[in-house]
Amino acid sequence: MTYRVAIVKTTNGVKEATKEAIRLLGGISKFINLGETTLLKPNLFTVKGPETGATTDMQIVLATAELLQTQGSHCIIGECPATASYTRPDIVFDELGVRKLSEANGIEINVLDRDPPVKVEIKGVVKNEFWYPETAMKHPIINFPKLKTHSLTTLTCAVKNLFGLQQGGTKAHHHVTVGNDAESFSHLLLDIYQGIKPQCRLHVVDAHIAMEGEGPSSGDPVPLGLIIAGADAVAVDLVSAAIMGWDPVNEVGTNYLAIQRGIGPAGLHEVEILGESIDNVKTPMKKPEIHQDGQMFIDIRMPIIVDTDNCIACGVCAKVCPAGVITIAETPEFNMDKCIQCFCCVELCPHKALKAVRPDE
């Protein structure tokens, strides 16, 4: 099987770059049939805008929607925002302006947390059955991840973005299931990908403004100026990691395990690059501090520290903690003996007040 990934610079704008990437891959009709209703799944896990490197630029989604609408295909923008665990999920669509953009462009919007769940059985490593929103199982999916670092998985891109199709408290339950085993969590992400893979037709990565450092929400924006697209999530993630200046196999756990499990290409050598070459756009990006030694699967416990200048004791960390080990006084207090090291608190802190650190820092 030939795996193809397009890399296009956003010099002429993200919408034009998105359309060019899809054109290089054969055009939208190669992925979505005339008249099919398509679920467009961006990364909208927080209210932080795309300029911060945290969420998908909706102009990329709209560019793809225009191609679909031109050929007579209906579009639905859908997401299960991680913030749904402590607030109403609609707030993400409203504050990021997604609802207004969707209405102005004739695109349906769906908070997928409210969909009836549909069970899918697979032969997984961590779990053999998963539940997905009904909309995701009824329609083909175009996945729009943001290119970012991640405190638990090092990279969050095409494979990790599909974790966002797990509804409500299911995400927290998954974290509890794997405990503090980063390798098991990476296997779980691949299990989830296997379950939804038949629905996924295309992955279009927003690497216009990426994120490095303490991702996926507290890192620093990087003006990478790229769109990366392909039909296979693992192929896209391999290329994305290489663009970030990393060893795409040995420094990204989901890539490494996917190759072991035979999910996607066996390495970059099986991926045909269209458009820009990797070497021409490679931009070394900083990993989270806890991955500073290049270790894929963290096997030491990381204390979580509080930046008291940023913390306002809002309580979000306590509400999203799957293990229930955080209490709020003047600042958050952690029962580290029971912490499962999922780093959801770090990921979803709206004020960049929490950080997981290596014991030797």
**Which residue segments constitute the domains of the chain, with CATH numbers given?**
3-291 (3.40.50.11440), 304-356 (3.30.70.20)
If one counts every other C-beta atom within 10 angstroms of the C-beta of residue 16, the result is 14
The closest of 118, 29, 42 to 76, measured between CA atoms, is: 42
**CA distances (Å), 352 to each of 207, 286, 323, 356, in order?**
22, 17, 21, 11
d(C-alpha 221, C-alpha 26), whole Å: 31
For the chain, list residues with pLDDT below 70: 83-87, 180, 360-361
d(C-alpha 148, C-alpha 143), whole Å: 15
Can you give the length of the chain in residues? 361
pTM (2 d.p.): 0.94
pLDDT at 300: 76
pLDDT at 50: 97
d(C-alpha 102, C-alpha 159), whole Å: 25
290 within 8 A of 305, measured Cβ to Cβ: no
Locus of tokens 């209405």: 103
pLDDT at 360: 66
Q: For the chain, how are helix, strand and coil distributed in percent, rounded to 5?
A: 35, 20, 40
Which residues have CB under 8 Å from 125's CB, separation 6+? 187, 188, 190, 191, 261
pLDDT at 192: 98
If one counts every other C-beta atom within 10 angstroms of the C-beta of residue 295, the result is 16
Cis bond upstream, residue 223 (ω within 30): no
Q: What is the pLDDT of residues 110-152, one digit of tens each?
A: 999 999 999 999 999 999 999 999 999 999 999 999 999 998 8
Beta strands in the chain (DSSP E): 3-9, 38-42, 75-79, 108-111, 117-121, 129-133, 141-144, 146-150, 154-156, 200-212, 220-222, 226-230, 271-275, 304-306, 326-328, 332-334, 354-356
pLDDT at 295: 73
pLDDT at 90: 85
